[in-house]
Amino acid sequence: MQLKLEHLNKTYTTKRASVTAVKDISLDFPDNAIIGIIGKSGAGKSSLLRLASLLETPDQGEVYYDGVRVDHLPKKELNRRRLEIGMIFQNFNLFSSRTAGKNVAFPLELAGWNRRDIDERVHEMLALVGLEDREKSPIATLSGGQKQRVAIARALAPRPNILFCDEATSALDPQTTHEILDLIKKIHANMNLTVVMITHQMEVVRDACQYVAVIDKGCVVETGAVSDVFRSPKHEITREFLSNIRRSEISVESAIAYLQDNGYEVSKR
């Protein structure tokens, strides 16, 4: 699906203050791309994602899916549209009152699928994420990476054409982050799917995304193809994010060197 945002604005007013979390953001990405939206904590990423995923309505501006305006849809149509939208989250947000399989079944129950079709789809999705043997597992018994796999299976079960990921790998260790990103890329390659990933880690953008938008204080400061942005970053914030990866990579390198010096075998992946 092709996602287009036009002049989005969103202000949150609380008793104490009013914060403009999204300021005149316009973005337009090609169909079926993996898009990264990177920004520091509090930059407005989650707010932007809630607008783009129709969880909230913008104060001003428009959201288009495949050229059709979808902000301010009537309730009924909005809930129907939701089946075309998948979402995964930093904290997984799985239902602890349901097994892994029943979590995946949930959106299908909402969509009114019959039992047979639900069972079949649940198996198919759990197999896709490599958890076919965990259908009856309570969520509490799964590791972080397994939880995010279940969340991905649940999000994609009703065959959405866009997947929003809010810091989906931020609660995971680097190795598991890698596995989840690989899984998302694999799924993306085999499906008609646009993926929008929000993150504060430039590694995620580098390893998984084709396009990137850098946002700061509610505004887009830089956008483009990932290769271009990495080759010639224009904005200072972007450069800061890039230098952060270099620094963490240097520290990984030095850790590996340290281990090797001390007689451990380290395989570089």
Partner 1 sequence: MSPITELVLQSTWETVVMVFFSTLFAVLLGFPLGIFLFVTSPRGIAPKIVPYQLISRIVNTLRSFPFVILMIVMFPLSRVVLGTAIGTEATIIPLSVAAAPFIARLTETALNEVDKGVIQAAVAMGASKRQVVRKVMIPEALPSIISGITLTIITLIGYSAMAGAIGGGGLGDLAIRYGYQRFRTDVMIESVVIIIVMVEVIQFLGNKAAALVAKYPLGSFGRSKKVK
Ligand X SMILES: Nc1ncnc2c1ncn2[C@@H]1O[C@H](COP(=O)(O)OP(=O)(O)O)[C@@H](O)[C@H]1O
Residue ranges binding partner 1 (CB under 8 A): 53, 55, 79-83, 85, 87, 89, 91, 93-99, 101-102, 105-107, 109-111, 116, 119-120, 123, 135-136, 138-140, 154, 158
**In the complex, what is the shortest distance from the CB of residue 220 to ligand X, in angstroms, rounded to a whole number?**
13
- For the record, the structure tokens of 191 come out as 């499906």
Residue of 29, 46, 51, 197 that binds Mg ion (CB under 5 A) = 46
Pick the closer one to ligand X by CB: 135 or 216. Answer: 216
Does 258 bind ligand X (CB under 6 A)? Our answer is no
Identify what 23 binds: ligand X, partner 1, Mg ion, none; CB under 5 to 8 Å per kind. none
Q: At what angle do helices 144-156 and 174-190 cross, to 10 degrees?
A: 20
d(CA 79, CA 102): 20
Does 58 bind ligand X (CB under 6 A)? Our answer is no
Query: What is the distance of C-alpha 83 from the center of its chain?
Result: 17
Q: Would you call 36 helix, strand, or coil by DSSP? A: strand
Tokens 């428009």, residue? 62
Q: Closest by alpha carbon to 88, among 218, 221, 183?
A: 183
CA distances from 58 to 24, 38, 45, 62 (A): 10, 20, 14, 7
Tokens 């799964």, residue? 142
Does 197 bind ligand X (CB under 6 A)? Our answer is no
Does 21 bind ligand X (CB under 6 A)? Our answer is yes
Does 169 bind Mg ion (CB under 5 A)? Our answer is no
Does 42 bind ligand X (CB under 6 A)? Our answer is yes
Whether 145 contacts 179, CB under 8 Å: yes
Pick the closer one to partner 1 by CB: 102 or 235. Answer: 102
Does 41 bind ligand X (CB under 6 A)? Our answer is yes
Contact positions vs Mg ion (CB under 5 A): 46
Enumerate binding residues for ligand X (CB under 6 A). Answer: 12, 14, 19, 21, 39, 41-47
